[in-house]
Each structure stands twice: as structure tokens, then as C-alpha cells.
Amino acid sequence: MNILWIPHAPLRTGRARSDHLIEHLARRHHITVLSFRAHPRRQPWRYVLDLLTHRSRQGPPHNELAIWRLPKAVRLNSWLLNQAIKRELAKRPYDALVVAPAPYLTGFLDFASMRQRVAVVCDYLDGTDWKMDGPDAAFERLYVGSADSVMCVSRGLLRQALTVNANSHYIPNGVDLARYHDFHAAHSARECKEALGINPHSYVVSIIGMTCSARLYFVDAIVALARKGRNVVLLLVGDSPLLDQIRHRAGACCHAVHIAGAIPYTDILPYFMATDLGLSAVDDHPYYHFQSPLKIFEYAAMGKPVIAAPKTGELEMMNLSNVTFCDATAESLAQQIEFAIDRTEPWIEPNLELHDWQHLADEVETLLYRTAAAKVSSRI
């Protein structure tokens, strides 16, 4: 099968859902990924530099087709996107085009034109609540309703997608089980803490990926525990504009906050292994209720318990045995962390076989085959 893929985020910026799926599917199929870049608002000059440095690349494991974009130039970006796709479709007989609803990054896809040429599959993630009728709801509804089929990252998004596209399917996020299990078997938490410069006797609570609440109530919870004399460390992995505020918020308890910054995906496993308790500290907002918690699967695969604040819809329905919930407040979170510290019985690890990336890639493969076959049948 020949697959053309427009991911929801630039390649190699962390390890996103599209990176995992593309990696597994590329072992059996020809994949060309439309490669674009996104830069901080304070660095618009980097988009001009991209015109000189951003180039297409041939695989393996997959090809990359460079497309250029300019900040806030949605119409121009849309034209560039669609022209690049049309040229690529003229070169090779593609069976499917996978696209994420992210026109604010890539420009808008011309569905009317593309669906005449190829089966279009929408990878629906990072969704908002359409009942709120904001600008995000409008373009999400456009992408979901215009695609030949849709793969939804959460049950909440699936329910929403089915209102405009009956060919919508649930394909959540996952984890590379073998990679995490093998590392867990070969290393100890103490060894990894020492290697990362963390007191091996401390209880490490981590947020890996820095998806978190701007209210920073999780910092207040750690500070409260540190002031009580608890030997607890908040390990933060990933880049975030909140880091300076976090340092300031920790104040005199800055010793209880360990900021690792951005870490390559290839080097991330020691941070999971050094963790005693994984943390998801977000807000009670529809965006988080519609998420599929990729990092929570990774904590689980490494055998780590997780506290999720607040209780979100998708995570509650998953009923993962290593996850407990609390309110999204410093007081509730501190109490729940302290309970985890004092817990003596072992945590029960959930069965994640259905969330292994290889299994999920197989489901995507089946969906792509079916959608492409239906497209061919409709033309006969």
C-alpha cells in the first residue's frame, strides 16, 4: 500500500502518535510524510530560514516531502499544501491520504479535490467540544465530516465524530511494550535516580512531556509535602514556557523540583524508571476529557502507578488498574501523593496488549485497506 501522511505535529518533535504509527506501518508499506516545521512565535525569522534549509528526504524507513509554511498565512499555506500533495499524487499511485485536523499548522486540505484522487482518512486527536462552537470546532467538524473515514483517539471524540461521519472508528494511543518491559527488567529505579543526579532515597513524582495545568497546583502540592518533611522530588521532563514560573513557585523548596528539560525520545526510559509515581495534572476542560493519555500508557508499561487530576472521561472509561484520581487542587493532590508514598501493597499493572503500537498499527492498516477498497469500488 502507498500512504501519504500529513501528521498533526512536525516529525521528530518528541514522539507523537503519528511517529509511532508511521514507524510500524513503514515496515510493510511505502509511506511519504509531508514534513513541515513550526517555530516559537518569538522566532518568525526561522520560517524564512526554512526556505533555504528544509528539504525532502528519501527513506528508509519512509520518505519525507518538505512543505513550507509561514506563520498566520493560512491561505498561502493551504495553497502550498495542496499543490505539494497534487504533485506527489501525480508521481505515485497512492491508496490513502492520512490527515490530522491541524490547518492552523499546515493550511486547509482541499477535500473536494483530494477525495477525487485518493481515499482520505482523518486522524482525529487533540479535539475540542463542538458544543462550544469555537473556531476549532468548525475546522474539526469540517475535517471529520469531509473524510472518507476517521480514526478517533478517544471514545469522546468517537461519539462526536459519529454525528457527522458514520465511518468513524476508535483507535487510541499506545506504547511500545517490549521496549519498556525490557528496560524495566534490566534496570532499577535506584540506579536510574543516581544516574540522573537525584537522591536515590527520595520519592520521585514525575511529569514527562510537560502537558500540565498553568495553575501549577502540582508544584504547590510538592512544596507542601516538602515543608512537611517528606523526601519528595518533582521530576519535570520536557520543554515548557511554564518552567520559569515553576522555579519561582517552588521558592525556598526549589531543591524538591528537578527540571530535566527536553530529552530525546531515545534517552527517555531512565526518567520513567526513576519515577516512583507518574502524574497527570491538568484542568477540568473538554480538551483533556477527549485525550488518550499516551504518557500514562508509558508509565504503566514501566510498572509505575499514576495519579490523574482531575478524573477525565477517557481515562475513567479505560479503568487502568495503576491509575487513581483526585481533584485538580493542591490540597487534594498532596493528600493523594502522600497516600501513594505510604502505600505498602503492590500496584496491579494493567494489561496493555491491546495498546501496543504494533497492534494499533495493524488496526490502522485494516482501516486504510477498507477505506481504499471502498474508494475504488465507488469509482467502478
Does residue 188 register a pLDDT over 80?
A: yes
Taking residues 3-29, report their average pLDDT: 90
User: Which is higher by pLDDT, 56 or 380?
Assistant: 56
Taking residues 370-378, report their average pLDDT: 89
pLDDT at 313: 86
Q: Are residues 186 and 333 in the same domain?
A: yes
Q: Are residues 137 and 13 in the same domain?
A: yes
Does residue 378 register a pLDDT over 80?
A: no
**Mind listing the pLDDT tens digit for each residue in 310-331?**
999 899 999 999 999 999 999 9
DSSP state of 162: T
The answer to whether 22 and 29 have CB atoms below 8 angstroms apart is no
Q: Are residues 333 and 363 in the same domain?
A: no
Return mean pLDDT, the chain.
93
Taking residues 37-44, report their average pLDDT: 82
**DSSP states along 105-121:** HH----HHHHTTTSEEE
Does residue 108 register a pLDDT over 70?
A: yes
Q: Are residues 362 and 347 in the same domain?
A: no
Taking residues 184-209, report their average pLDDT: 97
User: Which residue segment(s) compose the domain that 278 sits in?
Assistant: 177-352
Taking residues 29-34, report their average pLDDT: 96
CATH number for the domain including 110?
A: 3.40.50.11010
Does residue 12 register a pLDDT over 80?
A: no
18 pLDDT tier (thresholds 50, 70, 90): very high
Residue 225 to residue 358: CA distance in whole angstroms: 40
45 pLDDT tier (thresholds 50, 70, 90): confident
pLDDT at 347: 86
Q: Are residues 101 and 17 in the same domain?
A: yes
Q: Are residues 158 and 272 in the same domain?
A: no
380 pLDDT tier (thresholds 50, 70, 90): low
pLDDT at 277: 97
9 pLDDT tier (thresholds 50, 70, 90): confident
Q: Are residues 132 and 33 in the same domain?
A: yes
Q: Are residues 69 and 207 in the same domain?
A: no
Alpha-helical regions (H) of 228-349: 243-250, 269-274, 286-289, 294-301, 313-318, 330-342
Q: Are residues 63 and 181 in the same domain?
A: no
- Phi, psi for 231 (deg, rounded to 5): -85, 75
Q: Are residues 10 and 94 in the same domain?
A: yes
Taking residues 224-229, report their average pLDDT: 96
Does residue 375 register a pLDDT over 90?
A: no
**Mind listing the pLDDT tens digit for each residue in 126-157?**
888 898 878 889 999 999 999 999 999 999 99
pLDDT at 79: 96
Please provide the distance, in angstroms rounded to a whole number, between the alpha carbons at the two ends of the chain: 20
Does residue 234 register a pLDDT over 70?
A: yes
CATH number for the domain including 221?
A: 3.40.50.2000
pLDDT at 166: 97
Beta-carbon count within 10 A of 249 CB: 18
Q: Are residues 364 and 341 in the same domain?
A: no
pLDDT at 11: 79
Structurally, how many domains does the chain consist of?
2
Taking residues 254-277, report their average pLDDT: 95
Q: Are residues 195 and 136 in the same domain?
A: no
Preceding amide of 286 cis, omega within 30 = no
pTM: 0.91
pLDDT at 4: 97
